[in-house]
């Protein structure tokens, strides 16, 4: 595990971006990571997948189903990557994406506060 809060945030940003690059062949535009106790909060600006952008216009229900499936797969991959690379045990990941603003919010709930970050 990284030695400082700043280093931990940087590592989480790298992992988050890497997972997105592998899934969508593009990284995030911007992201911010905050850590509060045993919770990691990530707000990230993404670029909408062009095919889903077109589908949004004609059938939002179908594109929403695809969004949810992609969010679920993304959460699985993010959990695996963080647990393997940072040795943090994750209880759950909550994530949603707004296609209009292209912003995703992710809350990662850890089993415990990371070592060295206890208050």
pLDDT in tens, 42-74: 999 999 888 888 888 899 899 999 999 999 999
The answer to whether the pTM exceeds 0.85 is: yes
Q: How confident is the model at residue 3 (pLDDT cuts 50, 70, 90)?
A: low
pLDDT, tens only, 70-111:
999 999 999 999 999 999 999 999 999 999 999 999 999 999
* pLDDT for residue 115: 78
Mean pLDDT of 1-6: 75
83 within domain boundaries: yes
**How far apart (Å, rounded) are the C-alpha atoms in residues 96 and 14?**
20
Locate 93 and state its tokens.
């990941």
Which is nearest to 86 in space by CA: 105, 109, 114?
114
117 within domain boundaries: no
Which is nearest to 39 in space by CA: 109, 91, 94, 86?
109
Q: Find the domain containing 106 and state its range.
A: 5-110
User: Among 16-20, 76-80, 112-116, which is the least confidently predicted range?
Assistant: 112-116
Helix locations, 60-109, DSSP H: 60-86
pLDDT exceeds cutoff 60 at 1 = no
At 74, give phi and psi (nearest 5°): -60, -45
116 within domain boundaries: no
* Count of structural domains, the chain: 1
Locate 118 and state its tokens.
């206890």
119 within domain boundaries: no
89: Cβ contacts below 8 Å, ≥ 6 apart:
83, 110, 111, 112
Locate 41 and state its tokens.
């909060």
């Amino acid at each position: 595990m990284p030695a400082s809060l700043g280093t931990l945030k940087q590592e989480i940003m790298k992992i988050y971006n890497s997972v997105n690059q592998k899934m969508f062949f593009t990284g995030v535009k911007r992201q911010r990571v905050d850590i509060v106790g045993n919770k990691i909060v990530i707000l990230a600006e993404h670029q909408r997948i062009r095919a889903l952008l077109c589908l949004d216009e004609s059938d939002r229900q179908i594109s929403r189903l695809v969004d949810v499936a992609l969010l679920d797969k993304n959460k699985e991959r993010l959990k695996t990557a963080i647990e393997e690379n940072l040795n943090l045990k994750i209880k759950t990941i909550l994530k949603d994406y707004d296609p209009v603003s292209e912003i995703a919010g992710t809350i990662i709930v850890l089993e415990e506060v990371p070592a060295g970050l206890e208050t």
